[in-house]
Amino acid sequence: MGHPIGSMHRVRVVAVSEQFSGSRQLTTACLIAGKSLNMAEAKMVIIFDFDRTLIDDDSDRWVVENMGLTHLFNQLRPALPWNALMDRMMEELHSQGKTVEQIAECLKHVPLHPQTISAIESAHALGCDLKVLSDANQFYIETILKHHGLYRCFSEIITNPTTVDGEGRLRIFPYHDLASFHGCNLCPPNLCKGLVIEQIQASMSEKGKSRFIYLGDGRGDYCPTLKLDRGDHVMPRKGFPLWDRLLSNPSLLKADCHEWSNGEELASILLKLVEKVCKE
């Protein structure tokens, strides 16, 4: 399972103290520092993984378990890549007469920590550029964010695209063209998050945005963290695969590392980092 906190010094874990608990305190701190709120806009890009990071569960498994697909899922799991498997699950729901609206209603019950919601709203209010980079899918992410009033906070959602076909079936497609391998052995064929991060970095450098915070938990979040530079920050969820991989390969990471275990810790650490940028 997990490693002792002390071992994380090898990946330059940065202690976060005197946490801010809400947007009003953070906004006040930035103004006292003599910086306008758009200073964060000029300097800070925050990229969230979705499953078990922004939300407190896995959206794919949530639908599988709560819509009666567990048996079929377990049967097909060894034979299909994840992206194709989830598209097959949507086919099964459609064959059972389940509607897209019923899938959306199921997704509205996915747990999301209230302090994570507050932190996202605060960072957005301060002008940070927020993005989602996820191997879930467009429909799931947009449905959940809209339900919690957070969709407006994100400038971009980068994920596997979806559409509803003429028969009313939800279709899930890979982000990358599977006919042309993206060349990364760390990532699944349908999405290399590291490649996406490089594209975002190139775009942001043209606009003068130089600080990145990346929040994630899974194996697919390892590649993008290796693309971060000194002065950037990675926030791995403690005890999850990304955290373990960073412990195993500390010399490869340039960014500062801030571990977290729950939504309360995520919020306090994230807002503290935004405060730091406001004061620079």
Q: What is the DSSP letter of 229?
A: -
Q: Nearest 5°: CA angle at 195, between 186 and 157?
A: 110
Closest C-alpha among 76, 77, 142 to residue 110: 142
Q: Which residues are annotated as a binding site for Mg(2+)?
A: 49, 51, 217
Nearest 10 degrees: CA dihedral of 176, 110, 85, 71?
170
Note if 56 is an active site residue. Answer: no
CA dihedral of residues 23, 136, 46, 253 (deg, nearest 10): 130
Q: Which of 219, 264, 258, 241 is nearest to 46 (CA)?
A: 258
Residue 221: how many CA atoms within 13 Å on its side-chain side? 28
3-state secondary structure of 249: coil
Query: Which parts are annotated binding residues for substrate?
Result: 60, 135
| Binding region | 49, 51, 60, 135, 217
For the question of residue 49 being annotated catalytic, the response is yes
Q: Give the tokens for residue 221.
A: 């979040």
**Cα 178 to Cα 191: distance, rounded to the nearest angstrom:** 9
Looking at the DSSP assignment, which residues form a beta bridge with residue 42? none
Residue 83's contacts (CB-CB under 8 Å, 6 or more residues apart) are 135, 160, 172, 173, 174, 188, 190
H/E element holding 156?
strand 154-160
Sign of CA dihedral 84, 224, 54, 151: negative
The set of catalytic residues is 49, 51
